[in-house]
Chain A
Amino acid sequence: MAGGQVEIGQAGGLSDVGETLGTDALKILSAIEEVWCEDGVLLLMDLGSAVMSAELALEMLPEQRRQKCLLSNAPLVEGAIVAALHASLGEPLQAVNAVAEAALSAPKLPGAG
């Protein structure tokens, strides 16, 4: 979606126990470091502990970097697609998050919602 202009990382599963379900704050932290960009990093999460683990990961970041990270309320799949495209258009982090979060209220079926 982003034409190779936007770095996208992923962090899923609990690495230490070989468990694929769950999230690991350290994995999230290293994913943030991996895709780091001075324009900021948008974090998209699915259900359950993903949010808490992401919050933990942010706490482990240096303050300067933490300020440029944003936890998004956007749905994971739709939000990732929308955010990737709008980030590639050069929009600022807050604007990218706003369009991604708008995907929450966008009906998929014509006439629904």
Chain B
Amino acid sequence: MENRPSQAGPQEERLEDSQHHQQSGLRNNARSPLPDCRPAQPETSPQLSRSVVVTVSDPRGLHLRSGRDVVRLASQFQARITAANLSRNTHAIDLKSIIQLMQLQARQGHDLQLAATGPDAVAAIEALSSLF
């Protein structure tokens, strides 16, 4: 892919962690009225959510070959990853599907919102951002 040095880097607009602690809270309530005195431990599969807006820099837009690289990379992560073309006001599509990605009809300069949810969401968004 034309992975040129990012002159137009990702705009990390919404990069808030939204770790869901609801589950563990419920568990504590259900099992024991006592405060949980176990040391804080990482959840086995934390459901992290990350989102970023990237701008398509390729003059030819997001074409089939570059789309292939996006899908190929996205498929390496467990996280559910979606993308929406904010410039066309599309709904979010599954970034692991080439046919859905092509439906974004993303041209140069279009803003795409990438969102990932899953244990490797942070790494997924970081890696994918570098492709635009």
Q: Which residues of A contact B (CB under 8 A)?
A: 1, 78, 81-82, 85-86, 88-89, 99, 102-103, 106-107, 110
Contacts and interface: CB of A to CB of B under 8 A. Distances in A.
24 contacts: A1-B64, A1-B68, A78-B99, A81-B64, A81-B98, A82-B98, A82-B99, A85-B68, A85-B71, A85-B72, A85-B98, A86-B98, A89-B71, A89-B72, A89-B75, A99-B99, A102-B97, A102-B99, A103-B99, A106-B100, A106-B103, A110-B88, A110-B103, A110-B105
Q: Is the interface of B mostly helix, strand, loop or mixed?
A: helix
How many B residues are at the interface, by size bracket?
A: 10 to 19
A25 B67 CA distance: 35
Interface of B: 64, 68, 71-72, 75, 88, 90, 97-100, 102-103, 105
B55 to A, nearest CB: 18
